[in-house]
Structure 1
Amino acid sequence: MSLSVLDQSVARAGVPQDQSIRDTLALAQHCEALGYRRFWLSEHHSLPSIVGTAPEVLMAAIAARTQSIRIGSAGVMLPHYSAFKVAEQFRVLDALAPGRIDLGVGRAPGSDYRTAQLLNPDPRASDNFPQQVQELQAWVSGAELPEGHPGRGIHAHPMGATAPQLWMLGSSGYGAQLAGHFGMPYAFAHFITDGEGCAQALELYRHSFQPGLLAQPAATICVWALAADSEEEAWHLFGSRERARIDRNSGRYGPLQPPQLAQRAYNEGEQAYRQQLRRKAMVGTGAQVAARLRALAQELEVDEVVVITWTWDPAAQRRSYELLAREFALA
């Protein structure tokens, strides 16, 4: 089983937002040294809690600072953009880091409705998502589009000996079925749904899979996890994430609070959600979290897990990845 990383450049209270971007760069270098397989970056817009808005730009900076780790988007929210322009961007990235680029795409807006309208005023943009995926694959791989397609004869440059690997991302059955139909690798956002619907989506993906980009289905899951040197410390650090999740349910978004300031009075409904969140959370020592990750991977029949970790202190985040790397003997 291999481990990978998803980072979102989370905003932190009392820290300039641009520092979160630089911390992501440092984390990518750290995780490469630890032996992680991939380093993925998310795309969100106009959120005070997540400041990673342009994964393709950040990927270029990481490519210049690393040598072996795969670098990817998790993902590009394709309905906002021209598939041709995305293909060009990722062909350039593949030139910077040949054979190391993952192009993960999704259909979700990664923002609120008003922000999505500013990115693409067409309210039906997502209806064209399947066609965009087909076009994108042709342009990133150098294949020709069908007769009659307006893009036939148009090519995304620069071309090279390698090409970005296209991934489908999702948290529902729609993306799973589309990934299966196109024969693409598929990543389920377990951390968004707290695992709800994950097993069903993976089953749908495998059942609907037709050979295409791949001969056999290949799936991974993106899981939130936090390890520390003691269980007590891990739960203390988890307080920042816990507060953010509870606040989000009532429409309150903001930077991540330091754990010593994250506690507030919760109402009865919030307390119930807090207990549910703690039951599902993968939090503890390195050994405890590793055991739960292995059990989940075995249950879902995946041989790779992508780990996302939020902490207010970047040192605690780096330590969490160190502990898991040691448990899985990555280096």
Structure 2
Amino acid sequence: MRLSVLDQSTALSGRAEDESIRETVALARHCDTLGYHRFWVSEHHGHPAIVGSAPEVLLAAIAVQTSRIRIGSAGVMLPHYSALKVAEQFRVLEALAPGRVDLGVGRAPGSDMRTAQALNPNARHAAERFPQQVQELQAWLEGSELPPEHPSRGITAHPRGPGMPALWMLGSSDYGAQLAARLGWPYAFAYFFADGQGAGPALELYRALFKPSDRLAQPQATFCVFALAADDEATAWRAFASRERWRLDRARGRLGPLPSPQEALARPLDTAEQAQVQALRQDAAVGTARQVGDKLRALADRYELDELVIVTWAHDPALRRRSYELLAAEFGLA
């Protein structure tokens, strides 16, 4: 089974946000040497905890500092932008890292609606054009012509080259699954976003409706899954306390940077929070490399997946790097 990485440039309490961007680049270099298949970065706006706001810029830095690993977006929130501009940005990335670029796109705003409005004054209606934007994007990336009646017919996305980025549809609902199936695109489900809710039906729908395309003959799907491994189980669960506290606060509308384990554990849990933590821990892929590996293999077997994309939040960057090292060894990545 292949393992890949999704990094969200998480803001850490007590540290400047710009450090998180540089840490993402450092992690990409590290995972390049460990044998991970892909390294994806996300897009969020106006978010105090997830500060990767410009994946195309971040990927340019990663492209010139890695040599083997595929790099890509998970994803570009297409309704914020012109499809032509996104095609141009990713054609530039393809020139920097030929044959290594993935362009994952999504329909969600990756922000609150007020921020989405600031990014695109027509944000409230932009999502309605998403299927059309996706087809425009594919045409400009491939260098194929738009339909005769299209107002932008005849426009070319530069720079041209022999290859093009691999297109992925991202989602956490049935909508993306159906669109990916209709277009014959690979599909990535954000399993970590809601602890797997809706993952099974979305994947089943994608596989049932899939129509082969020139670029993909059979359905290709993956899940983006949270996982955290450490040298011993106690260390892993202590590190996970940061994400637990962040999730509890988010559920109550309190967003902020990822707290340290010390900060998280210093705040006693009330009765409702204790029940939430119990639910979070029940299926969490947290522990030693073997324990985490067993859970990831069981998930992959259950849904017949040959690749998982690992999301890891930890307040200590060294511990996060260690987690990826341990999982690379557990799965025999090379």
| Match of residue 309 from structure 2 | 306
Partner of 2:64: helix, strand, or coil?
A: helix
Report how far residue 269 of structure 1 moved: 2.0
Partner of 1:226: helix, strand, or coil?
A: strand
**AA matched with 1:155:** T
Report how far residue 97 of structure 1 moved: 0.3
Partner of 1:59: helix, strand, or coil?
A: helix
| Match of residue 260 from structure 1 | 262
Q: TM-score normalised to the size of structure 1? A: 0.99
Deviation above 3 Å: which 4+ runs of structure 1? none
Distance in 1 (alpha carbons) for counterparts of 2:259 and 2:217 = 45
| Match of residue 295 from structure 2 | 292
Distance in 1 (alpha carbons) for counterparts of 2:233 and 2:277 = 18
Distance in 2 (alpha carbons) for counterparts of 1:158 and 1:302 = 35
| Match of residue 252 from structure 2 | 250
| Match of residue 187 from structure 1 | 188
Residue among 224, 229, 232 paired with 1:230: 232
| Match of residue 173 from structure 1 | 174
Report how far residue 222 of structure 1 moved: 0.1
Partner of 1:25: helix, strand, or coil?
A: helix
Deviations 1:6-60 (A, max 9, x none): 0000000111110000000000000000000000000001111111100000000
Partner of 2:19: helix, strand, or coil?
A: helix
Deviations 1:199-251 (A, max 9, x none): 11000000110112311110000000000000111001000011101100001
Report how far residue 145 of structure 1 moved: 1.1
| Match of residue 93 from structure 1 | 93
Distance in 2 (alpha carbons) for counterparts of 1:265 and 1:288 = 27
Distance in 1 (alpha carbons) for counterparts of 2:156 and 2:277 = 51
Partner of 1:201: helix, strand, or coil?
A: helix
Q: Which runs of 5+ in 1 are unaligned?
A: none
| Match of residue 77 from structure 2 | 77
Distance in 2 (alpha carbons) for counterparts of 1:157 and 1:12 = 38
Residue among 283, 286, 302 paired with 2:286: 283
Report how far residue 266 of structure 1 moved: 2.5
Report how far residue 182 of structure 1 moved: 0.4
Report how far residue 270 of structure 1 moved: 1.8
**AA matched with 2:67:** Q
In the alignment, is residue 316 of structure 1 matched against residue 324 of structure 2?
A: no
Distance in 2 (alpha carbons) for counterparts of 1:121 and 1:266 = 41
In the alignment, is residue 272 of structure 1 matched against residue 275 of structure 2?
A: yes
Partner of 1:262: helix, strand, or coil?
A: helix
| Match of residue 28 from structure 2 | 28
Report how far residue 148 of structure 1 moved: 1.1
Report how far residue 267 of structure 1 moved: 2.6
| Match of residue 129 from structure 1 | 130
Distance in 2 (alpha carbons) for counterparts of 1:61 and 1:150 = 34
Distance in 2 (alpha carbons) for counterparts of 1:287 and 1:275 = 22
Distance in 2 (alpha carbons) for counterparts of 1:115 and 1:180 = 30
Report how far residue 165 of structure 1 moved: 0.6
**AA matched with 1:55:** P
Does the CA-based 8 Å contact 1:141-1:164 persist in structure 2?
A: no
Tell me which moved more, 212-221 or 262-271.
Answer: 262-271
**AA matched with 1:114:** R
Partner of 1:79: helix, strand, or coil?
A: helix
Distance in 2 (alpha carbons) for counterparts of 1:251 and 1:31 = 33
| Match of residue 139 from structure 1 | 140
In the alignment, is residue 217 of structure 1 matched against residue 181 of structure 2?
A: no
Distance in 1 (alpha carbons) for counterparts of 2:321 and 2:10 = 14
**AA matched with 2:29:** Q
Q: CA RMSD in A?
A: 0.7
Aligned length: 331
Q: TM-score normalised to the size of structure 2? A: 0.98
Distance in 2 (alpha carbons) for counterparts of 1:221 and 1:143 = 30
Deviations 1:79-114 (A, max 9, x none): 000000000000000000001100000000100110
Distance in 2 (alpha carbons) for counterparts of 1:248 and 1:324 = 28
Deviations 1:294-326 (A, max 9, x none): 110010111000000000000000000000000
Q: Which runs of 5+ in 2 are unaligned?
A: none
Distance in 2 (alpha carbons) for counterparts of 1:59 and 1:148 = 34
